[in-house]
């Protein structure tokens, strides 16, 4: 049984339709990430589950109960926000104990739960401090601790790492992943950062304009994107797209030949199955799937080289002015203005 189920969920703000016909099942213990560009409806969808916004239509179940009429406190959820929202005048202990006090737990039960959560988060030594005496990462850990003590059916996170600097963001991301393994709690996590989505999720939900574009494991979405949007959104650097025309297609519509302004390619997997021979298509090739090859069909002149140490990213321009990128772990002996030629792995390319 699904731990969280959304059926035909819609949300309007006034006349603006921000969540459109969302159907989703989240299993017990699963780590699900809602990802998509700013304004696509990630927070709204999370807030509908939390009960901070009211549905316009549809149903939501948590642990087999319809929860639409329940207030947030009765839904079996605990939420962690981007702004930690700690009480500045209370110690870490009392911040974490606050909701348990409200719920009328005994002093000993509260102390037990708070100590256990502090131990899990390795911050027992911070329990007597006030938030002002903590770093950003430590404050976010308190906010996570405050969620843990409630022992919820579902954890909800809305961009919890956005206020942290890059190093701390990485560190806290790893901690959240470990914590999830340890607690095995169902988690829904909102981010616009595709790296967070790829590294944390068991299941990614890609949203665009309030519509679910694809649901699947990180590798399913990376290897078999259902559309150009998902293909372009996941992966860094972004997938290259070359415009052209479909010159022939197999009877079962699974593969097709492509002719672009600069080069042709045969037998590429066809994602947009509704397309017919002669129609305009885009050939998508990830920067990592190009390889330097003096006999390769793709030619480009180098416009930028980024040497990242672990990876070199080269930006190029084809003769017909299509920009594309090549990424390689090697430290290339190439310079701005050089011409380079590439072949690519046909089996990893897609036509949209």
Ligand X SMILES: Nc1ncnc2c1ncn2[C@@H]1O[C@H](COP(=O)(O)OP(=O)(O)OP(=O)(O)O)[C@@H](O)[C@H]1O
Binding site for ligand X (CB under 6 A): 13, 16, 18, 36, 38-44, 192
Task: For the chain, give percent helix, strand, coil, nearest 5.
Answer: 30, 35, 35
Choosing among ligand X, Mg ion, none, which partner's interface includes residue 40 (Cβ < 5 to 8 Å by kind)? ligand X
Beta sheet of 203-208, edge-to-edge order: 77-80, 154-158, 186-191, 31-35, 203-208, 211-216
13 vs 87 by CB, closer to ligand X: 13
Comparing CB distances to ligand X, the nearer of 43 and 288 is 43
Residue 30 or 159: the one with the smaller Cβ distance to Mg ion is 159
Rounded to whole angstroms, the Cα distance separating 306 from 325 reads 11
Judged on CB neighbours under 10 Å (0-12, 13-18, 19+), 16 is exposed
Which CB atom, from 36 or from 300, has the smaller least distance to ligand X?
A: 36
Least separation, in Å, of the C-beta of 288 and ligand X?
27
Choosing among ligand X, Mg ion, none, which partner's interface includes residue 44 (Cβ < 5 to 8 Å by kind)?
Answer: ligand X
Cβ-proximal residue to Mg ion, closest one: 43
- Which residue, 208 or 259, has its beta carbon nearer to ligand X? 208
CB of 20 to ligand X, least distance (A): 11
263 within 8 A of 349, measured Cβ to Cβ: no
- Helix residue ranges, H only, 86-165: 92-102, 107-120, 136-148
Closest CB to ligand X among 124 and 193? 193
Q: Shortest Cβ distance from residue 139 to ligand X (Å)?
A: 20
Please give the residue ranges that form the binding site for Mg ion (CB under 5 A): 43
Bridge partners, residue 306, by sequence: 313
Query: How far is residue 148's CA from residue 176's CA, in Å, rounded to a whole number?
Result: 12
CB of 195 to ligand X, least distance (A): 15
Least CB distance to Mg ion at residue 43 (A) = 3
Min dist. Cβ of residue 183 to ligand X (A): 25
288 binds, among Mg ion, ligand X, none (CB under 5 to 8 A by kind): none
Q: Give the residue among 184, 225, 185, 183 at the shortest CA–CA distance from 204.
A: 225
d(CA 40, CA 212): 10
- Which residue's CB is nearer to Mg ion, number 46 or number 234? 46
Q: How far apart (Å, rounded) are the C-alpha atoms in residues 153 and 74?
A: 11
Question: Which of ligand X, Mg ion, none does residue 18 bind (CB under 5 to 8 Å by kind)?
Answer: ligand X
C-alpha to C-alpha distance for 115 and 126, rounded to whole angstroms: 11
Shortest Å, Cβ 164 to ligand X: 16
User: Phi and psi for 342 in degrees, rounded to 5?
Assistant: -135, 145
């Amino acid at each position: 049984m699904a731990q969280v189920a959304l059926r035909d969920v819609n949300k309007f703000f006034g006349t603006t339709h921000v969540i459109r016909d969302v159907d989703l099942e989240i299993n017990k213990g699963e780590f699900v990430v809602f990802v998509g560009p700013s304004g696509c409806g990630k927070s709204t969808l999370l807030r509908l589950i939390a009960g901070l916004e009211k549905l316009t239509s549809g149903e939501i179940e948590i642990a087999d109960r319809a929860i639409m009429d329940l207030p947030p406190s009765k839904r079996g959820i605990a939420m962690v926000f981007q702004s930690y929202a700690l009480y500045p005048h209370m110690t870490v202990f009392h911040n974490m104990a606050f909701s348990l006090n409200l719920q009328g737990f005994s002093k000993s039960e509260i102390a037990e739960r708070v100590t256990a959560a502090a131990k899990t988060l390795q911050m027992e030594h911070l329990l007597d401090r006030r938030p002002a005496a903590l770093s950003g990462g430590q404050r976010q850990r308190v906010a996570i601790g405050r969620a843990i003590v409630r022992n919820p059916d579902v954890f909800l996170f809305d961009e919890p790492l956005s206020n942290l600097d890059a190093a701390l963001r990485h560190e806290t991301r790893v901690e959240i992943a470990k914590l999830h393994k340890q607690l095995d709690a169902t988690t829904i996590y909102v981010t616009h950062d595709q790296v967070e989505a790829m590294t944390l999720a068991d299941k990614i939900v890609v949203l665009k304009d309030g519509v679910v574009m694809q649901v699947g494991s990180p590798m399913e979405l990376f290897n078999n994107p259902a559309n150009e949007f998902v293909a372009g959104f996941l992966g860094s650097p972004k997938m290259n797209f070359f415009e052209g025309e479909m010159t022939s297609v197999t009877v079962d519509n699974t593969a097709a030949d492509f002719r672009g302004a600069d080069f042709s390619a045969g037998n590429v997997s066809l994602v947009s199955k509704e397309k017919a021979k002669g129609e305009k298509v885009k050939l998508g090739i990830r920067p990592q799937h190009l390889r330097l090859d003096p006999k390769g069909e793709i030619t480009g002149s180098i416009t930028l080289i980024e040497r990242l140490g672990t990876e070199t990213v080269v930006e190029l321009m084809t003769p017909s002015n299509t920009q594309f990128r090549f990424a390689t772990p090697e430290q290339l002996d190439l310079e701005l203005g050089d011409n380079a030629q590439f072949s690519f792995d046909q089996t990893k390319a897609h036509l949209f």
